[in-house]
Chains A and B, each alone.
Chain A
Amino acid sequence: MSLEKKDVQRAALLARIEITETEANETFEQLGKVFDLIEQMKIINTDDIAPMAHAQDISTRLRDDVVTEKDRHEEFQEVAPATERGLYLVPKVIE
């Protein structure tokens, strides 16, 4: 399983990062080295090992279903690129 340039372009599309042909070539070259490193994982057999997603073996904490946040939308929207009447503005999605 080796990385191809089209994989880089596909990942960029999925990650919503615009990438030029030149950047794709450069990235492909560097990611090739990174994947050579990552492929080292194959040297050991892990068939019977349970995956470890997290450092703690705890389940997600539950809390009462009550409102704990105050309305701070004005404060939070002050740092937004574009807002109007308490709404975030984005390009039109539905015609």
Chain B
Amino acid sequence: MFDKSLKELASSLASKDFSSVELTQAYLDRAKELNTSINAFVTIDEEQSLAQARSADQKIAQGNIQALTGIPIAHKDIWCAKGWMTTCGSKMLQNFKAPYNAHIIDRFNTAGSIIQGKTNMDEFAMGSSNETSFFGHVKNPWDSSRVPGGSSGGSAAAVAARMTPAATGTDTGGSIRQPAALCGISGLKPTYGLVSRYGMIAFASSLDQGGPMARSAEDLAILTEVMVDYDMRDSTSLKRDPVNYSANLETSIAGIKIGLPKEYFSDEVSPDVQKAVASAIGEYKKLGAEIVDVSLPTSPLSVAAYYVIAPAEASSNLSRFDGVRYGHRAKEYKDLNEMYAKTRAEGFGAEVKRRILIGTYVLSHGYYDAYYIKAQKIRRLISQDFAQAFEKCDLILSPTAPGTAFGIGEKASDPVQMYLSDIFTIAANLAGLPAMSIPCGLDDANLPIGLQLIGNYFDEARMLNAAHMYQKATDWHLKQAPLK
């Protein structure tokens, strides 16, 4: 049962090959066993999961079956789920039990899925390696001495190690795609505004977007249908007609125009990654795609602009953690200001503090125009670059990350080296475009390589179609981490 797709699981549950309780218990047992080494989950609560599974079994018996009825799904610990610990990877929220559901949790409940647990992540989603989590490193299932990527590293590792059938993540600068690439799974960041941010603990609100992480594009399509929904409670949620993302997966992609941005094929990309991406391009040619050259001339500045905009928004968003309404409060203080300062000094880890300080500085008097406004102007140029590129092509293809999974501790001491691992993913967030990563090879050390597809606004269905056709023609997405 650990090798079944979401569709196969739904069909096995419907034909009573096994019950949701049996399926959920089997996944919980496997997750608990592997978690001692991988540390992908921060919370597993068997009682709550199994209660949901029992209720799912009743619904199945009554024939009341939705898309995911009875199927366990793991959620990144950034999503509030009522009655579940929701820590965001931080000491600040170590004891925070969410009093309400995120909109996507409501959507998953309506679709019938089981909350299998909450997955580990970089603290407040700030990191690309899962090393900033208060709850310890997540280990890459392909090689336990390496990082799984981040910030949705727990979700990526859990899916890769088959500790869960599928998971949710969030992506502010690559936090779904980069760990998906490093763990050899598929992940999609939809167009900004399609997935409600209600109940998602905010990092950088103009960039944050939730999305699914799974073993295949086919599974992603099913999860995207659940996650995409208009929600009044998120002021940037977009009202659009519902899309059946699974409907056109099998459509031929002959004649589709795929653009290769020359800036994303530089020497920074490791030879193994270059080779794997080149062979994926060959595969797309065989499928009838027309390959065209495009340029994203401002994209080399995307990391610089991002490290102004994201920290600026974070410094504002994280001001809510002050020890008054929720979360950690310092034990000793002599007045209100000291309570704030000690609470925040104790509750936040080093990377979160660093980003709050960057954000506070770039927003402060005298620096606002030179940094914050400048970064927003570059954001405009990056967005215009994409608009021009999409006049020449339907999809943009590139490596997801310049290399494969790096060693735990390897980049931890140099924040800039860490930031540069998101060099190919950040631009899509700045522009608000949908982007995904799918496995396209293994390097010399048997580590997965990710292929990024960036689409035009609201073009998720075409991206999923292109990804699915690639996965039908290749078997990289079926390669499994060498676990015992």
Q: A31-B354, A81-B323, A81-B324 are in contact. Are A91 and B415 (CB under 8 A)?
A: no
**B409 at interface (Cβ–Cβ under 8 A)?**
no
Q: Digit string of B311-344 for contact with A (CB within 8 Å is 1, else 0)?
A: 0000100010011111111000111111111101
B383 partner residues in chain A, CB cutoff 8 A = 52, 55
Partner of A14, one of B360, B370, B381, B416: B360
Within 8 A of B (CB), among A44-75: 44, 46, 49-56, 58, 60-61, 63, 72, 75
State whether B333 touches A91 (Cβ < 8 A). yes
Partner of A60, one of B99, B235, B334: B235
State whether B303 touches A41 (Cβ < 8 A). no
Min Cβ gap B145→A in Å is 25
Within 8 A of B (CB), among A1-50: 1, 3, 7-8, 10-12, 14-19, 27, 30-31, 33-34, 36-44, 46, 49-50
Min Cβ gap B363→A in Å is 9
B405 partner residues in chain A, CB cutoff 8 A = none
Bound together, the chains give a CA A12 to CA B350 distance in angstroms of: 13
Bound together, the chains give a CA A60 to CA B236 distance in angstroms of: 8
B301 partner residues in chain A, CB cutoff 8 A = 40-41, 43-44
State whether A30 touches B354 (Cβ < 8 A). yes
Min Cβ gap A31→B in Å is 7
State whether A55 touches B193 (Cβ < 8 A). yes
State whether A55 touches B305 (Cβ < 8 A). no
**B431 at interface (Cβ–Cβ under 8 A)?**
yes
State whether A51 touches B373 (Cβ < 8 A). yes
A58 partner residues in chain B, CB cutoff 8 A = 236
A50 partner residues in chain B, CB cutoff 8 A = 377, 380
Partner of A34, one of B327, B344, B358, B367: B358
A7 partner residues in chain B, CB cutoff 8 A = 361
A15 partner residues in chain B, CB cutoff 8 A = 315, 319, 344, 356-357, 360
Q: A27-B357, A34-B358, A76-B325 are in contact. Are A41 and B378 (CB under 8 A)?
A: yes
State whether A79 touches B326 (Cβ < 8 A). yes
> Chain B: which residue is nearest A68 at the CB level?
B232
State whether B353 touches A27 (Cβ < 8 A). yes
B322 partner residues in chain A, CB cutoff 8 A = 16
Chain B interface: which size bin?
35 or more
Min Cβ gap B199→A in Å is 13
**A78 at interface (Cβ–Cβ under 8 A)?**
yes
State whether A91 touches B335 (Cβ < 8 A). yes
A60 partner residues in chain B, CB cutoff 8 A = 235
Q: A27-B354, A46-B377 are in contact. Are A91 and B96 (CB under 8 A)?
A: no
Bound together, the chains give a CA A62 to CA B238 distance in angstroms of: 14
B126 partner residues in chain A, CB cutoff 8 A = none
Bound together, the chains give a CA A31 to CA B199 distance in angstroms of: 31
List 14 interface pairs A-B (beta carbons < 8 Å), by A numbering.
A11-B358, A37-B303, A41-B378, A49-B377, A49-B380, A52-B376, A53-B376, A54-B206, A55-B193, A56-B192, A76-B99, A78-B97, A81-B323, A91-B339
- Contact surface of B with A, Cβ cutoff 8 Å: 96-97, 99-100, 192-193, 206-207, 232, 235-236, 238, 298, 301, 303-305, 307-308, 315, 319, 322-329, 333-342, 344-345, 348, 353-354, 356-358, 360-362, 364, 367, 370-371, 373-381, 383, 414-416, 419, 430-432
- Contact surface of A with B, Cβ cutoff 8 Å: 1, 3, 7-8, 10-12, 14-19, 27, 30-31, 33-34, 36-44, 46, 49-56, 58, 60-61, 63, 72, 75-76, 78-82, 88, 90-91, 93
